[in-house]
Amino acid sequence: SSQNLSEEFAEAARQLKKEAPRIQFGKIDVTHQHDLRKEFNIQAFPTVKFFVNGSREDPIDCKGVRKASTFVTWVERRTGPSTVLINSTDQAEAIIKADDLAVIGFFRELHDESVEVFCEIARDVPEMPFGMTASEDVCANYSIQRNSLVVFKKGKPVHYEVLEDGGQNKLGLTRLIKTFTLDLVTEYNIETSVKIFDVPVENHILLFTPTNSETFNEIYENYQSAAAEFRGKILFVLVDTDETRNGRIFEYFRIRDIDVPAVRILNLTSDARYKMPADEVTVENLKEFCQSYLNGEAKQHLSSEKIPQDWDKMPVKVLVGKNFHSVIF
């Protein structure tokens, strides 16, 4: 909530007042400041922007940051080095074991384009520590090919990405790394819903199934296998259909008891929904569905009642899913 974020923001301001007194924190109630709202194109609330060197031009958006400690890290990485330089295996181990997650860049030298890409990603992912090294000993210790980015989870390497010079997709890698703050498959509930929407992946796939059914374990394993392949591109979510608090999601996707297990893809930006053509939740069917969606070949799912015969007889037209798009657009 806005109130909660406001408190965390104030706490970050208190911490940075001691550590970095040059960085000022301020808040604006835009309901009374229409000119400022227009000038900085404020669409959503709350919005946090960072102004550099006294300039009003092009402030940096601070998105998806909710905790005081993450605010502090985000600001520190914007105003100073965004990664820790590692010179020894002991240093590397200290970073890897200090937190649940850590990202280490292993490089040939510390002055090429792939290092710049790595440092820029670190600025945008304040949720986890970043370190980089060009030490032969450290690279040899982990048997890692140079110019690679490695994500460690609970002290073990769980993802490996070779960084190309220059044309690296920073946004894609940033999204990918942020997904590690969630499980491979995240069960939807009150606590996880905020986290799910904080990870900047706009494609979500949802499996609707009762978690206490006899076939659940097999279906879940298939779902996890597919999830590993699309990490960073599609976020895999599990919705327990026996949980009454999930009723609003069933309504939103028009899922009925006889439909489960059901699989849907949702694009958060366009609100478009897609239904998996196959009924069986196999690894093969899931992969095919995800791939056809990413290739732009999947057909939108417009679950809708029939168009009433007299829908256009009155001054106020009756719209359902099937005629909504053609009438409105």
Domain that holds residue 55: 1-79
192 and 248 inside one domain: yes
- Pairing state between β 148-153 and 185-187: unpaired
Angle, helices 113-124/170-179, rounded to nearest 10 degrees: 50
Same domain, 173 and 217: no
Q: So what's the pLDDT on residue 195?
A: 84
Q: What is the model's pTM?
A: 0.81
Same domain, 124 and 170: yes
Co-location of 48 and 122 in the same domain: no
- Tell me which of 79, 101, 128 is where a domain ends: 79
For residues 117 and 69, membership in a common domain is answered with no
Q: What is the 3-state secondary structure (H, E, C) of 145-186?
A: CCCEEEEEECCEEEEEEECCCCCCCHHHHHHHHHHCCCCCEE
Nearest to 176 by CA among 238, 230, 224: 230
Which of 166-175, 246-255, 300-309 is predicted most confidently?
246-255
- Alpha-carbon span 161 to 105, nearest angstrom: 10
Does 247 score more than 90 pLDDT? no
Domain boundary among 28, 57, 79: 79
Do 61 and 107 fall within a single domain? no
Could you give the number of structural domains in the chain? 4
What average pLDDT score do residues 293-312 get?
A: 81
* DSSP reduced 3-state for 285: helix
**What's the pLDDT at 303?**
59
Domain termination site, one of 55, 79, 103: 79
Of residues 263, 264, 206, 213, the one with CA closest to residue 236: 206
- 257 and 308 both lie in a single domain: no
DSSP 261: S
What does the alpha-carbon distance between residue 318 and residue 329 come to, in Å, rounded to a whole number? Answer: 15
Are 222 and 262 in the same domain?
yes
CATH number of the CATH domain containing 233: 3.40.30.10
